[in-house]
Structure 1
Amino acid sequence: MNKLLALCATVLMCLPDAQAAPCKPAPLGDAVLYLRGGLNNWAAQDEQAFEYRCDAYYLNLTAKGPQEFKIADEDWTPALTFGGGSNGQPARGANGNLQRQFSGAHTLRLSFTPEGQATLAVGPKTFKPTPPQPITDRAALTAHFSSRVEEFKAPFGAQPAGTEVRFSMGNDAPGLKQATLVIERRQMSGNQEQLQYQPLARIAMTPQPRGLGVGFSARYRFSEVGVYGYWFELEMYDGTRYALQNNTDTVYWTREKGSMGAAVVERLPASTQRIRRYRQTIYAADFQVPAWAKDIVYYYVFPERFRNGDKANDPRPGGGRPQDRYQSGDVERHARWNEKPFKPGTGDGSDALYNNDFFGGDLAGIIEKLDYIRSLGANAIYMTPVFRAPSNHKYDTADYKQIDPAFGTNDDFVRLCAEAAKRGIRVIPDTSLNHVGADSPYFNRFGNFPAGGAFDNGKINPDSPYASWFKFKPDEKDPNKQFQGWVGVTDLPEIDKNSPAFRAYAYRDKDSVTNLWLDRGAAGWRMDVAPWVPDDFWREWRQAVKAKKPDALTVAETWFDSSKYFLGDMFDSTMNYIFRNAVLDYAAGKPGTLMAANLELMREAYPPQAFSALMNLLSTHDQPRALHHFGEDTDLAQAKQRLRLAVFFQMTYPGSPTIYYGDEVGLGGGEDPFNRAPYPWADEGGQPDEALLADFKRLTQLRHALPVLRHGTLAAPLHVDANVVVLARQHGATWALTATNNSTSPRTVTVNVPMASGTLNDALGGAPVSVQNHQIQLTVPPLFGRVLVTP
């Protein structure tokens, strides 16, 4: 900043014209720090980047209410990650979160003592960020490229290995001397903490005269499977260089910015790390996804809260059975089915432990309600873990090869799969191969199992058959620090996934966990916290799954852009959290352009066979329910109508619509545990919304009745504005146009369509629409949509 000599005016502000001590070099060098917390999905976003000025790091932030966050760089580098210390101030490497109360616009000031101790002050908004240097060069300003326009890139989207891709760009003013296509290979591991691009090729593009400006083109053959990055370096005749790169759109849960499509030109940064690459997915030519995945409507069950079909196996305090104990104490049992889940510290009368309260849901309850699930239009059941574990959620596995006694028996699982199959329903179980429970024979921290665990009674047991499953630190005195709990949770000891003994148990052995449940009737697997497990593990695991059952479906739990998992060597599908957030925000009233940007990213980045099999969610057991997102506490009637809009979109979009149990009858609930409330069965005293249920059924029936909604390809949006989104689907000779409106008033739009003339019939019984000269005029009802189909 031209050797800026800004001087501090207050403890919150440092302005160039203040009178104080001279400026100091940035204590963290070139590192860029971000506020990363619940308000931005813990991502490193430019909007929450601190700017170093004179003596401290500053950030202007608008937020309301209590917020939890950390301050860290993009990579969560330990030396550059500041959590909440014991005094509430930032502490390097602290596991806890910083907590502050906000009430609008604020300035945050992060300063460091000479000894490196950090202090965070929050006050009124007073900081004036340094404005970006404007671009005035018309040759640069008129440079253009779009990854979704055939003129500039062909073929479109993800491609099989060996594909040659043509790239073109142009500008409309003189001055552009040379354009270089830069191809890089992306490396990403973990939950996006490690992300970098390795240079692969720099291709001088061939110039082509074009009006006042010039066009450039180049070709590149992508011979190997992977995710690649590309961008364009522009050189002007005066020597100035620019980057023609991806846009600045935020993609939900995803570290990398840019939804692709039209490019943005910016000055070439000093570090190429700051460039926003376009992504190019190159997948294995033989990548196949089970054909039945396109036809799925999932019913997503949290078994403990769905239906109590066998009261004899219910966990009971002091009962003396395995399901009656939680670690070293008793379980809690709800007196009535329709109570709220317990949450410690809220004054609800529960104890201080999380996840130890039970209602009695089980496999018998799911079997009892299979006809109901089928009547809803669902033809696949995804259920969270049912294997033996002390908690109500069962992700703290105690025995991978046994059904939890509170849920039934192994025979009950076989019966569930068989009875479901009679009704055309597949069953997909869930487990974590990343961690086990501390209260398990594998670890045995509480001594509840016979001796032989790797951490018997809180002591390392090197003679355990499971000892190689874990990494221990025997020199640590605190037992909690002698092993690694997943993300610091000591109830969930993290497995060393490189252990040959564990890999044999998980998928290599004939009677491995993976094979055993496929043999018992499972139609595939959903795998918990997939990013925390090494890629080579998943590659071997997939081979084992497909060898055992070639048409088994493999689903990852990932929340961000999951391109790397869809290369043909790991997963078929994922829990589509990008879809969830995009559709919920749109249905809640945010612009259609925001939703379209996120969905179009996936259409472009994912192989079509995976895109058509994505588990398209609205609610989950890890996030507030859709109805809560729509404001169930302020206007329940409108919240339910917004839910209908979201389900309409879900049922008419490519992928596998997923109904979280109870959403269909108006079950709400915010953060865990309230998003895991019991299904409100009428015979248990609940009040299910039968009208909402009827609307869910109408929309699932619509999807099943129209193959174009399940198998049809998706083109670029025909129309997108703040309220209305119109999409086109094609299956053979059949076209379907789907239109949604998130306004509380009807909206009429004029849309260019693929067909020249004719009539489009309304699949939900509305008036037909005439096509004239490739155009229709369409009125979309408030907070809902229309499906128009060619005869």
Structure 2
Amino acid sequence: MRGIAKRSRIGLLTLACVMLIVGCSKDMTKEPSNGNHGVFYEIFVRSFQDSNGDGIGDLNGVTAKLDYLKDLGIKGIWLTPIMTSPSYHGYDVSNYYEINPQFGTIADFQALTQEAHKRGIEVIMDLVVNHSSSENPWFVESSKDKNSPYRNWYTWAEDQGRPATGQSAAGDKAWHMKNGNHYLGIFSESMPDLNFDNPDVRKEIIKVGQFWLQKGADGFRLDAAKHVYEDFTDSKKDPKTSQKNVAWWKEFRAGLQEVNKDAYLVGEIWDSIAVIAPYLDHALNSGFNFDLAKTLISSANTETAGNIAFTLERTYGLYEKSSGGNFIDAPFLSNHDQTRVMSALQGNVDHAKMAAALLLTMPGNPFLYYGEEIGMLGMKPDEYLREPMVWKAAGGAGQTTWEAPRYNKEGAPNVEAQLKDANSLLNHYKKLIQWRNEEPALQGGKISEYKTSNTHIAAYVRGEGKDSLLVVHNLSGQEQVLDLSEDNVNTGYTKVKLSTSKGNKLDGGKLVVPAYSSLIVKK
């Protein structure tokens, strides 16, 4: 979401707890297909590509780079907020039916979606509905006139006869003063919470979603999805709060399906899998897998394999139970709120390649943050997680300049140079995404644990039966040998089909895996 919002970051749910919920049965390990398979690419529009020379990235700039994204193998893009907003980040919307003029017009948005669709790329928009901007006319009128029809679109302590006390669920001050009254704003004074107990608010937000679908959007990334009814610290653990949130998103989804039955909804639910699961019950298609992101980065950084597949089998069992099979995972490594991957990995390119390989062989719709594919750096404060995309060493036409970079200065990795280098991180991403696009077993389907005693090897089976693939990653800087008969009787994987590096060998059941490399083995 945004840097000024403090979040409660819940750690990994213990595996024992998950097993208690879903048991250890392998009947519930399949992550079903819902037609939304492909790699998505998150674009912070202001930083991506400038089409008119004002230094600010815009929609026409995104359109100009669609061929780059197609060549990378991207099947969907997520645009961070592009609606009218007084802030640089856009997570406080002042008009839900307009494009921020710095980014272009509705016609530019429609042109972008049309050109994206021609290339087989979906477009989803960031939708922020927990709150509006304090400059939104709804709130301005609500704050001025107690008799306004918009008064009850927000929560006013005095109107409810309640004290303006209590800490917000986000850990900030919950109540703020305006015109002698206190309104609820759990993230910020400039972000007053919309009142979803008011049916008129719910109808309006559904109308907003339908409007943008009709303009060409294919779905939405839903900001702060668990906070719509989560206002205070003492309501965070109340099951009724989660139930109200889920009920709202079901209502929203039903409204969108009147326009587009296949609209894709992925929610930001920064919490454990047990909290995410109920949202997949015909409310959202996906929830970002924050726990998995930590595991993938840690595995690459320490060169030690975690129980990735074992944990995901149990995770998907819980999701299956909640959704009846109608879910798809949304793995990622970093986003606009988090330390960039290359910074988290202390600039180690080999580790970055392994993190990419892990991510892009996971089930679901992997999400890449712009610049991740070239190893851009970035750490908080938030502005420096969102620095201008580096297209060329010398800058030039199209380079955004709205912010002076702290981490990606002169000499930083750039697209132009990496496209020419066969061993670059960018070309590594291209190769892995190509694998994924060509191999159905790497897209949706199933992930199963493949046991090995070698802690430097991350191995798992994707897909089922004769069409399944064995994915093997050597996370270390030394060649490793994997005995394919060890703890895996009669698996039958006999041929290395794909490899990120030379030097692999499979002979007599012994698989030689070069340092920092990934292999796909077929039956």
Aligned residues of 1:585 and 1:595 also touching (Cα < 8 A) = no
Counterpart residue number, 1:495: 194
Name which of structure 1's ranges 525-534 and 779-788 shifts more when overlaid on structure 2.
Answer: 779-788
Counterpart residue number, 2:428: 695
Aligned residues of 2:310 and 2:448 also touching (Cα < 8 A) = no
Pairing 1:155-234 to 2, within 5 Å after superposition: none
Letter in 1 for 2:152: S
Counterpart residue number, 1:257: 14
Aligned residues of 1:648 and 1:699 also touching (Cα < 8 A) = yes
- Flag the 1:684–1:770 CA change in 2: closer, same or farther, 3 A: closer
In structure 2, C-alpha distance between the alignment counterparts of 1:412 and 1:520, rounded to whole Å: 10
Q: 1:433 aligns with which of 118, 129, 137?
A: 129
Counterpart residue number, 2:350: 641
**What is the CA deviation profile of residues 627-685 of structure 1, one whole-angstrom value per residue up to 9, with x for unaligned ones?**
010012xxxxxx12111101111111211122211111121111222111110121625
Tell me, what secondary structure is at the counterpart of 1:652?
coil
**What is the CA deviation profile of residues 284-309 of structure 1, one whole-angstrom value per residue up to 9, with x for unaligned ones?**
xxxx9873312x11111011111111
**What is the CA deviation profile of residues 236-261 of structure 1, one whole-angstrom value per residue up to 9, with x for unaligned ones?**
xxxxxxxxxxxxxxxx8357533558
Q: 2:34 aligns with which of 291, 297, 305?
A: 291
2:96 counterpart of 1:400? yes
In structure 2, C-alpha distance between the alignment counterparts of 1:738 and 1:676, rounded to whole Å: 33
- Flag the 1:254–1:304 CA change in 2: closer, same or farther, 3 A: same
How far did residue 279 of structure 1 move? 4.3
Aligned residues of 1:763 and 1:789 also touching (Cα < 8 A) = no
In structure 2, C-alpha distance between the alignment counterparts of 1:540 and 1:758, rounded to whole Å: 46
How far did residue 532 of structure 1 move? 1.0
- Flag the 1:700–1:465 CA change in 2: closer, same or farther, 3 A: same
Counterpart residue number, 1:470: 154
Counterpart residue number, 2:76: 380
- Flag the 1:611–1:578 CA change in 2: closer, same or farther, 3 A: farther
In structure 2, C-alpha distance between the alignment counterparts of 1:529 and 1:610, rounded to whole Å: 24
Name which of structure 1's ranges 666-675 and 364-373 shifts more when overlaid on structure 2.
Answer: 666-675
Counterpart residue number, 1:337: none
Aligned residues of 1:586 and 1:595 also touching (Cα < 8 A) = no
In structure 1, C-alpha distance between the alignment counterparts of 2:120 and 2:324, rounded to whole Å: 22
Structure whose alpha-carbon radius of gyration is higher = 1
Counterpart residue number, 2:386: 676
Letter in 1 for 2:210: N
Q: 1:658 aligns with which of 367, 379, 383?
A: 367
How far did residue 461 of structure 1 move? 2.2
Aligned residues of 2:378 and 2:386 also touching (Cα < 8 A) = yes
In structure 2, C-alpha distance between the alignment counterparts of 1:693 and 1:609, rounded to whole Å: 38
**What is the CA deviation profile of residues 38-84 of structure 1, one whole-angstrom value per residue up to 9, with x for unaligned ones?**
xxxxxxxxxxxxxxxxxxxxxxxxxxxxxxxxxxxxxxxxxxxxxxx
**What is the CA deviation profile of residues 738-779 of structure 1, one whole-angstrom value per residue up to 9, with x for unaligned ones?**
11122222222223346455731231275675576xxx3223
Aligned residues of 2:506 and 2:512 also touching (Cα < 8 A) = no
Aligned residues of 1:669 and 1:675 also touching (Cα < 8 A) = yes
In structure 2, C-alpha distance between the alignment counterparts of 1:732 and 1:641, rounded to whole Å: 32
Aligned residues of 2:449 and 2:459 also touching (Cα < 8 A) = no
Q: 2:247 aligns with which of 536, 546, 564?
A: 536
- Flag the 1:567–1:369 CA change in 2: closer, same or farther, 3 A: closer
- Flag the 1:440–1:563 CA change in 2: closer, same or farther, 3 A: closer
Counterpart residue number, 1:47: none
2:262 counterpart of 1:547? no
In structure 2, C-alpha distance between the alignment counterparts of 1:593 and 1:540, rounded to whole Å: 38
In structure 1, C-alpha distance between the alignment counterparts of 2:331 and 2:349, rounded to whole Å: 19
Letter in 1 for 2:10: W
Counterpart residue number, 2:403: none
**What is the CA deviation profile of residues 557-599 of structure 1, one whole-angstrom value per residue up to 9, with x for unaligned ones?**
1122144335532111112212211101111116423545643
How far did residue 310 of structure 1 move? 2.4
Aligned residues of 2:94 and 2:136 also touching (Cα < 8 A) = yes
Letter in 2 for 1:667: M
Pairing 1:283-432 to 2, within 5 Å after superposition: 291-294=34-37, 296-311=38-53, 314=54, 359-432=55-128
2:480 counterpart of 1:747? yes
In structure 2, C-alpha distance between the alignment counterparts of 1:552 and 1:498, rounded to whole Å: 25
Pairing 1:18-29 to 2, within 5 Å after superposition: none
Tell me, what secondary structure is at the counterpart of 1:719?
coil
Counterpart residue number, 1:224: none
- Flag the 1:654–1:771 CA change in 2: closer, same or farther, 3 A: farther
- Flag the 1:658–1:290 CA change in 2: closer, same or farther, 3 A: same
Q: 1:626 aligns with which of 316, 341, 345?
A: 341
In structure 1, C-alpha distance between the alignment counterparts of 2:324 and 2:98, rounded to whole Å: 34
In structure 1, C-alpha distance between the alignment counterparts of 2:459 and 2:374, rounded to whole Å: 28
Letter in 1 for 2:363: P
How far did residue 546 of structure 1 move? 2.1
Task: Give the gaps of 5 or more residues in structure 1.
Answer: 1-94, 98-190, 193-251, 263-276, 282-287, 315-358, 445-452, 633-638
**What is the CA deviation profile of residues 614-639 of structure 1, one whole-angstrom value per residue up to 9, with x for unaligned ones?**
2211120010010010012xxxxxx1
In structure 2, C-alpha distance between the alignment counterparts of 1:620 and 1:699, rounded to whole Å: 20
Q: 2:183 aligns with which of 441, 458, 483?
A: 483
In structure 2, C-alpha distance between the alignment counterparts of 1:478 and 1:390, rounded to whole Å: 19
Aligned residues of 1:471 and 1:496 also touching (Cα < 8 A) = yes
Aligned residues of 1:259 and 1:597 also touching (Cα < 8 A) = no
Letter in 2 for 1:555: V
- Flag the 1:755–1:651 CA change in 2: closer, same or farther, 3 A: farther
How far did residue 538 of structure 1 move? 1.0
Letter in 2 for 1:615: A
In structure 2, C-alpha distance between the alignment counterparts of 1:768 and 1:627, rounded to whole Å: 27
Counterpart residue number, 1:521: 216
Name which of structure 1's ranges 580-589 and 658-667 shifts more when overlaid on structure 2.
Answer: 658-667
Aligned residues of 1:596 and 1:720 also touching (Cα < 8 A) = no
**What is the CA deviation profile of residues 376-415 of structure 1, one whole-angstrom value per residue up to 9, with x for unaligned ones?**
1101001111111011111101111111111111111111
In structure 2, C-alpha distance between the alignment counterparts of 1:289 and 1:712, rounded to whole Å: 6
Aligned residues of 1:611 and 1:654 also touching (Cα < 8 A) = no
Tell me, what secondary structure is at the counterpart of 1:654?
coil
In structure 1, C-alpha distance between the alignment counterparts of 2:339 and 2:482, rounded to whole Å: 33
- Flag the 1:376–1:259 CA change in 2: closer, same or farther, 3 A: farther
In structure 1, C-alpha distance between the alignment counterparts of 2:324 and 2:466, rounded to whole Å: 20
How far did residue 471 of structure 1 move? 0.9
Counterpart residue number, 2:470: 737
Q: 2:331 aligns with which of 594, 609, 616?
A: 616
How far did residue 543 of structure 1 move? 1.0
How far did residue 722 of structure 1 move? 2.8
- Flag the 1:391–1:485 CA change in 2: closer, same or farther, 3 A: same
How far did residue 606 of structure 1 move? 1.9
Aligned residues of 1:297 and 1:378 also touching (Cα < 8 A) = yes
In structure 2, C-alpha distance between the alignment counterparts of 1:393 and 1:96, rounded to whole Å: 13
**What is the CA deviation profile of residues 181-216 of structure 1, one whole-angstrom value per residue up to 9, with x for unaligned ones?**
xxxxxxxxxx99xxxxxxxxxxxxxxxxxxxxxxxx
Letter in 1 for 2:484: V
Tell me, what secondary structure is at the counterpart of 1:545?
helix
Letter in 1 for 2:362: Y
Counterpart residue number, 1:461: 145
Counterpart residue number, 2:457: 724
In structure 2, C-alpha distance between the alignment counterparts of 1:492 and 1:719, rounded to whole Å: 50
Name which of structure 1's ranges 558-567 and 736-745 shifts more when overlaid on structure 2.
Answer: 558-567
- Flag the 1:566–1:484 CA change in 2: closer, same or farther, 3 A: closer
- Flag the 1:641–1:756 CA change in 2: closer, same or farther, 3 A: closer
Aligned residues of 1:396 and 1:491 also touching (Cα < 8 A) = yes
Counterpart residue number, 2:237: none
2:277 counterpart of 1:564? yes
In structure 2, C-alpha distance between the alignment counterparts of 1:261 and 1:754, rounded to whole Å: 27
